[in-house]
Structure 1
Amino acid sequence: MEVGEEFGPWLSRQLKLAGRTQAELADELGLTRAAVSAWITKRSVPRPTVMGEIAKALGTDLGTVHTRTTDTQAGLPVRWYHRPGYQDGGRDGGNAAAFAFDSDVQVLARETCQNSLDERIVENGRPVRVRYTIHELTGEALDAFRAAVLWDDLQPHYSAVSESAADQKVGRVVDAGVRDMFEKSRLILLRVDDYNASGLTGDDYEDGKFAAVVRRQLESLKSGRSAGGSYGLGKATLWATSSLGMVLINSTLSVPHEGRTERRVIGRLELPWRSVDGTAYAGPAWLGRPDPGTPGADVVRSWWADEETVERLHLTRENDEPGTSFLIVGAHDVASLDQGRPDSVIDEGDDGIDDNGTRDIEVMHRRLVEALGRDFWAAMTGGGSRLPLLETSVRTLRNGVVVKEEERVDPSENQPSRTRALRAFYEGTTVERLTEAGQVALRTVPLLLPLSGGRRGALGAHPGVLLVTEAEDSDDGGPNQVHSLRGNLMTIKRSGVHGLPLGVTAFQGVLLVGHAAGRSAPFADEAEDFLRAAEPPEHDKWGQTEELTLRWSHTAHQRISRLTTEVNTAVKELVVRRKGTGGQESAKLRKKLTLPAKGAAPGRASGSAVPELDTLSAEIGESGEWRITAEVKLPRAGELPLMTPVVLLDVRSGGRPRLAWAELVAGEGCEIENGMLRFLPGARRAVFRGSTDVTGHPVRTELTRLVLELRNGTGE
């Protein structure tokens, strides 16, 4: 027989749940209070013959007392607890953390999948499985669900919000959500289930994962350098996606709490300040069982629900594998609504559901699949001896009936080129240079890590892994882009490569840094720390952040800019044809971009130690700007002068009009300083790239010829 919690703590909680004292139990059992106290303090346990009397006193069966894997049903009934208003008169117009994100299921997918990846149980080597279920309720199914969440108790609070907070964003959203539910007689539930994850472990109030998610704001207990989250904001997307501000939770724990692991249930409601029947309420509310340990047994805590209860709350999990189910009540997705038909176009069917409602949930389904494939293709890709870290799927129901079958997200369909590149890296089948279709080229690019605390110098160079392959014909996110990833294998940054000549073969690139490049790579741990600190709450780029400044320096983000430059240079070397193999379009552009004759450049530095422009390439950008890449030959010299690249329109007579640079980026062998080139000591060649400011072009770019000069000093 399975034995759960120790007898003493279990008995103490049952007495609190039943509102009884140790003395009352001792009197009913005909024993001394000291005997009951000894059980509570774990100094002794009752004899088997006494166990039956204890079960009778608690109103439960003997098996429950012996196994102690569940609470008795003698406790106070489940109800909503609303946090009282602040005594100092302060008011909150909603949860500020939720305003960090849009009401968008694609944002929800990114944040929730990232959290599930961070909570994956790694010891068994299996992936974490995340399933999204869109479930529309109507008619009797909707009525039954409202009864299960005690809607009649909540109605006065929603009415108060509609009346007092109509001029606030949260109030408007909540009011619209309630009206949508009653006027259209439908409610959309969106459930996020993960399996092979840790679950919400820990005490209801003390430090732990449960309290961090359910009780607290801006607290992240993510462990490990590869974790995606770090701000404690991601969970707010759950409530931001609910038009009613309501999320219900059912967690199966990887570590027992109170001797149990299954069906730990609680609900949380996020509303703005409100006054109901003359009583002020601060905002949040919780659905749970009243805790006798709090004054007046007012505050509620999680409870161990039975199977019937979780079924009525639409929280039934498919098995006993650890993980958590989050049910977003009244899910809304602005983008899905925008892509649906106008509300005026209604096609009433026999089931009373308008066609626009069907389209809403189907668009929501499609957008979830798109987001998962775009942001987590790498985590879902395996190869060689490496298994995927993640599996995802989406399904759509109405009143329990399938509307769209469960669709498992396949990364090889969503991102075929990048999936092929990553798999080749795992399998060790990459090449040094692309010579045939389907090949994957690998280059290492350095991320020079700074010393912490603002100290001068570098900790060392972390070798990032750049993978480049020819783009598929299918749409895998647009060609000529590089997806950058670190240890959690979520796409952090998507960027194009500038300075590519016309006619280059379309490609896709993947940059692996930190643990993604291999945990044994030099400075992999340090790179994870550095790049994680360089991410904003959305985790969608690397750049200057407050944490980066505090832990390293205000110039630390320049190391990331240099990494980008190294990546762009390496990509170009892999995909641009060598001299003499260019196409006709490239040749035409080269004729329109010229160098001044040697020795004829105005402002040229005197002496023999003079940098000289050597080779050029160019393309016309989408906005009509000139994009130029130039290589400079550097003489042997101790210190070279600052040089300014100047771009001029070539005209038949008169002075050549000077164009302004919209962007000037240093490649290898140089740095940009106030629009001038500073050449690095010992370098024999330098590369820089620039884009002209199209707003200053006097004529259409296609009708112009350019001259590029390298001038001494400021270039005047």
Structure 2
Amino acid sequence: METTGTEFGPWLARQLKLTGKSQTELAKELRVTRAAVSAWVTNRSTPRPEMAALIAEALGTDIATVHTRDTDTTAGLPVGWYHRPEHADGGREMGNAATFAFDADVQVLAREIGQNSLDARLEHNGRPVRLRFTLHEITGEKLADFLAAVQWDELAPHYQAVADSARQKVSRAVKAGLNDLYRRDRLVLLRVDDYNALGLTGDEYGDSTYAAVVRRTLDSHKNTDGTSGGSYGLGKATLWGTSRLGMVLINSTLSEPYEGRTERRVVGRLELPWRRVGDEALAGPSWFGRADPDTPGARIARSWWADDDIVRRLHLARENDEPGTSFLVVGAHDVAGLAEGKPLADDEEPDENGDELRNMHRRLVDALGRNFWAAMTAADGARPHLEASVRTLRDGMELIPEERIDPTLVEPSRTRALKAFLDGTTVDRLTETGQVAQASIQLKLPGRDARSTAGVHKAVLLVTDAIDGEQPVNVMAAMRGNLMTVRTKNVPGLPLGANPFQAVLLTGTAAGQTPCALEAERFLRAAEPPEHNKWMQTEELTNDYAPSAHRRIATMIHDAHAQVKSLLAQPKRKSSAQREAGNLAKRIAPKSRPKAKPRPSAGSRPELEDLQPTILPNGAWQVTGEINVPRGGDRWIARPTAAFDVRSGPRPRVAWAELEGVQGCEAVDGTLHFAPSARSAVFRAVTDPTTQPVRGSRSGLVVELDLVEGDV
């Protein structure tokens, strides 16, 4: 008997279950002994070639299926939806809490799924994991064919039951999804494919990658060495959270055979709340698959090995046999991006649906570049960890061409810095434009008590000049071994006139084969919240380490900031535009709003000499001011104040969100106290954008220095 698909024994055993035949019944139909059939099932022997036609007839299939064994007989149990019954104790779940952990935001989806694909990358071949997002709006005949393939008529009463319920949070989303489907005759599909990845391997119900994604909630099933990006098992929930209909279909090509097969393992999962349909009360989740004959009443649906036709109709056909998984989000939407539509060009016609798709496309591209530029960067002659692209279709026709993410365009300066590190071309200090300076930053790994140190990890700090026009600048991005950006913050306390720069902090295995790299990975991952976008004191960190362990991370960040300042080149002379901006923002209180004269014995007063303004991405002003402190001036206390510059009337006051002394002074309760004998002082302040009438980019700022004597 030929062997081109599943081994004959496992394949025959599965067909007997699907057709409801026993080994004894098959033996009678074939006129062979029961022992002969048992030997076939257990792979102790195979039937003679001339038996193929008889076996096909007995199983209700064709002879080619018996020879190739790349699909199941269609005469068995059907493919359909299984809805979990109501709990026996009457308990109800009004939705999957995991889907509410994140907003229905395609940028959050891109970050979480990109992280999971990186964690599932096959590393042995040195190739990147290829990640492709496809937005596809279907209408008319294509929509009708898809709905028939997904057995929509059977699902419609379930959706209507949820839409009619006023007590369920997801009712509004389902109503909007049904309105989009019925009134606008369209459905938006968001498909995510990864290639050169593990695929959903393993047992249907046991401890496996497949079961963690398809059957379970809050099961991460990641490696235990700490190098993976995810750890909470929440990332996959963004797929269902981005679907108005709560439906995700899956087609996986496995890196390890299951039941002797690797291609077209197909299943679907529906996340709806408790509902009553007819006389039946249902708990919530449902699965789309073939009825499992090993379960009571053969009601529970399991994955099945689908044929090419059904994966095509379900929009799940993969481009090749490379391992990986395709997820199809049915009824995709982007709540966070609804208000971010780009204005039409003069020659463009309004297209509501097209504008929505274009905005989602743009936000996916932005999120992939911002979060994974480092994973897309490689040394000369090497391949990156990740390649990503986004494309948008309408009824199978290209609406927006496939756009591949280029890290040199998204993060040009940081990409240059990381590439220099990977190529070994960094320097000790910046002396020329285009160089990348490298330094080592210690992370003292904590033990079980507050004082002990389990080891010292050396993170890598990279600093390089920012290219002209790059915004924001003077920012340090930090990451671990999977090269997804975890932390992005401004470097505080920079000297006046410092050249704009970008910095990168590589920790854990991202820093190379350094001592305690894996220990650092585990420690830092424990300090990340479910969003994996910062390092903080988490419950996991407190449980696994000393209560004050998070301070070790704060110390590393503080040391990195200090090292950035020492690596910077000498400040360039200010351009005329910079001087003009500083002059526009600077106002000295004694000249513009006189105060009561101090006692003569107090000596000369400090004066605001220079002011360097920057507008942050959130619209706030960041100002760095230099104060001239004459002899005896340290007796004074200064209070910087800010107001918006207006042509007439009183200036609206603006509060400070941050005020810190950088050099020669200390910030105390919103005031600056000068160091004894200081001749100059530098402070940095950031306005509170919630107190600003308009964004900083649309206004001028007046900064004044109020002075009082120290003993007042």
TM-score normalised per structure 2: 0.82
Deviation at 1:693, TM superposition (A): 9.6
CA contact (8 A) 1:70 1:260 kept: no
Residues 26-41 of structure 1: pairs in structure 2 closer than 5 A: 26-41=27-42
Could you tell me which residue of structure 1 aligns to residue 370 of structure 2? 374
What is the CA–CA distance in structure 2 between the aligned matches of 1:590 and 1:450, rounded to whole Å?
Answer: 46
Letter of the aligned partner of 1:278 in structure 2? Answer: D
1:564 correspondence with 2:557:
yes
Give matches, 1:431-510, under 5 Å: 431-451=427-447, 453-454=448-449, 456-475=451-470, 477-510=471-504
TM-superposed CA distance for 1:463, in Å, is 1.2
User: Does the 8 Å CA contact 1:661/1:691 hold for their aligned counterparts?
Assistant: no
- Rounded to whole Å, the distance in 1 between the matches of 2:116 and 2:626 is 41
1:221–1:617 Cα change, 3 Å: farther
1:290-325: per-residue Cα shift (whole Å, max 9, x none)?
Answer: 111111110111111111111111111111111111
Aligned residue number for residue 287 of structure 2: 286
Give secondary structure in 2 for the equivalent of 1:194: strand
Q: How does 1:189-204 map to 2 (within 5 A)?
A: 189-204=189-204
- AA aligned to 1:183 is R
The Cα shift of 1:514 comes to: 0.6
- 8 Å Cα contact 2:162-2:168 kept in structure 1: no
Instruction: Summarize the Cα distance change of 1:661–1:172 in structure 2 as closer, same or farther, 3 Å threshold.
Output: closer
Change (3 A) 1:474 1:580: closer
2:136 matched to which residue of 1? 135
2:59 is aligned to: 58
Letter in 2 for 1:543: M
Instruction: Give 1:526's match in structure 2, choosing from 514, 519, 522.
Output: 519
Q: 1:173 maps to which residue? A: 173
2:219 maps to what in 1? 219
Which residue of 1 is the match for residue 651 of structure 2?
none
Aligned residue for 1:172, secondary structure, equals helix
1:169 aligned counterpart, secondary structure: coil
3-state SS of paired residue (1:20): coil
Q: After TM superposition, list the pairs within 5 Å mapping 1:19-418 onto structure 2.
A: 19-164=20-165, 166-223=166-223, 224-340=225-341, 355-418=351-414
Deviation at 1:125, TM superposition (A): 0.3
Query: In structure 1, how many angstroms separate the alpha carbons of the residues matched to 2:457 and 2:404?
Result: 36
Partner of residue 18, structure 2 = 17
Match of 2:543?
550
Cα 1:690–1:550 shift into 2, 3 Å: farther
Shift of 1:33: 2.8
For residues 421-474 of structure 1, the C-alpha deviation after alignment (integer angstroms, 9 at most, x for no partner) is: 1111111111111121111111111111112x3363212221111111111124
Letter in 2 for 1:46: P
Distance in 1 separating the partners of 2:421 and 2:75: 59
Please tell me whether the aligned partners of residues 497 and 571 of structure 2 are also in contact (alpha carbons under 8 angstroms).
no
Q: Is the contact between residue 498 and residue 571 of structure 2 (CA under 8 Å) also seen in structure 1?
A: no
Counterpart-to-counterpart distance in 2, 1:706 and 1:647? 7
How far does residue 66 in structure 1 lie from its aligned partner after superposition?
4.0
How many angstroms does 1:485 deviate by?
A: 1.1
- How many Å separate the matches in 1 of 2:437 and 2:342? 46
Which whole-Å CA distance do the structure 2 matches of 1:473 and 1:693 have between them? 23
- 2:400 and 2:84 map into 1 onto residues whose CA distance is 40
Cα displacement (A) at 1:580? 12
- What secondary structure, in the 3-state scheme, does the structure 2 residue paired with 1:703 have? strand
Aligned to 2:675: none
- Aligned-pair distance for 1:705? 6.8
Displacement of 1:626: 7.5
Match of 1:678 in 2: none
Q: Retained in 2: the 8 A contact 1:501–1:619? A: no
Shift of residue 78, structure 1, vs aligned partner: 1.1
**Relative to 1, partners in 2 of residues 1:646 and 1:500: Cα closer, same or farther, differing over 3 Å?**
farther
Q: Secondary structure at the match of 2:170?
A: helix
What's the counterpart of residue 649 of structure 1?
638
Cα deviation for residue 618 of structure 1 reads 9.0
Mapped partners of 1:82, 1:461: distance in 2: 52
User: C-alpha distance in 2, partners of 1:277/1:581?
Assistant: 75
8 A Cα contact 2:497 2:574, kept in partner = no
Structure 1 distance, partners of 2:159, 2:281, is: 13
Quick one: distance in 2 between partners of 1:553 and 1:617? 45
Asked whether the equivalents of residues 116 and 197 of structure 1 are also in contact (C-alpha less than 8 Å), the reply is: yes
- Indicate the SS of the match to 2:164: helix
* Distance in 2 of aligned mates of 1:647 and 1:238: 59
Paired with 1:443 and 1:646, the residues of 2 have a C-alpha distance of: 40
Counterpart contact for 1:503–1:586, Cα < 8 Å: no
- Tell me by how many angstroms 1:341 deviates: 8.6
Unaligned runs of 5+ in 1: 594-601, 603-615, 631-644, 652-658, 676-687, 710-714
Question: How far off is 1:362 after superposition?
Answer: 0.6
Cα distance change on mapping 1:512 and 1:708 into 2, 3 Å = farther
Is contact 1:471-1:508 (8 Å) kept? yes
**Structure 2 SS opposite 1:492:** strand
Q: Which runs of 5+ in 2 are unaligned?
A: 590-601, 603-608, 628-633, 641-654, 671-680, 689-700
User: What's the offset of the Cα at 1:501?
Assistant: 3.1
* Partner secondary structure for residue 256 of structure 1: coil
Deviations 1:570-629 (A, max 9, x none): 111122637999998999999999xxxxxxxx9xxxxxxxxxxxxx99967866788689
Q: Secondary structure at the match of 2:282?
A: strand
Percent identity, aligned pairs only, is 57
Q: Which residue is equivalent to 1:682?
A: none
Pair 377,621 (structure 1): closer, same or farther in 2 beyond 3 Å: closer
Q: 54-63 or 524-533: which moved more? A: 54-63
Give, in whole Å, the separation in 2 of the partners of 1:9 and 1:296: 22
Hey, what's the Cα distance between the residues in 2 that align with 1:661 and 1:406?
42
1:336 CA displacement: 3.2
Deviation at 1:694, TM superposition (A): 7.8
Q: Quote the Cα distance in structure 1 between the aligned partners of 2:410 and 2:348.
A: 35
* Rounded Cα–Cα distance in structure 1 between residues aligned with 2:406 and 2:393: 21
Aligned counterpart in structure 1 of residue 419 of structure 2, from 420, 423, 437: 423
Rounded Cα–Cα distance in structure 2 between residues aligned with 1:277 and 1:300: 21
1:637 alignment counterpart:
none
Number of aligned positions between the proteins: 639
CA distance in 1, matches of 2:229, 2:556: 21
